[in-house]
Structure 1
Amino acid sequence: MLMSNTDRPARLHYMANGFRVLAPGDHVVCAVSGVRVPLDELRYWSVGAQAAYASAAIASEALSPR
């Protein structure tokens, strides 16, 4: 039986210039806002935290030193 990746979160390994899919899915969840980010729209992540972010503003806030 074929499994659909629709409406299923992907598990990714984030690298400096991209990411590797560890478990298939169609989106990831923003580590800060909880918003679903489709994989084809994913542009912001942290290699160190291994976390995805929904926007540049959210990523900047999350990654700025406190």
Structure 2
Amino acid sequence: MNRHTPGRHDGEAKIRYLDGDFQVITPGSYVRCAVTGKAIPLDELRYWNVDLQEAYADPDAALTRHKQIKDQA
């Protein structure tokens, strides 16, 4: 989604995370990191977990979640 698209939605998007891609279910300009709570603009979204359907702000957040899941097992 282009930030300058007329009629864009500025709220939080609802996303379906797929392998290597994602699908916008409800339009918005960002999603929240499941670890940090940080808003991630959709055009900067690079890290997510398909099984958990979660987005991560950066590789450190993704690794943190991976370790949390491993510790629970």
TM-score (norm 1): 0.89
Structure 1: distance between partners of 2:25 and 2:63: 26
Matched, 1:12 2:53: no
Structure 1: distance between partners of 2:44 and 2:7: 22
Number of equivalences: 64
Structure with higher helix content: 2
Q: Which runs of 5+ in 2 are unaligned?
A: 1-5
Matched, 1:40 2:40: no
Rg comparison, structure with higher value? 2
Structure 2: distance between partners of 1:10 and 1:29: 9
Q: 1:29 Cα deviation (Å)? A: 0.4
Q: 1:4 Cα deviation (Å)? A: 4.0
TM-score (norm 2): 0.81
Moved over 3 A (4+): none
SS at match of 1:45: strand
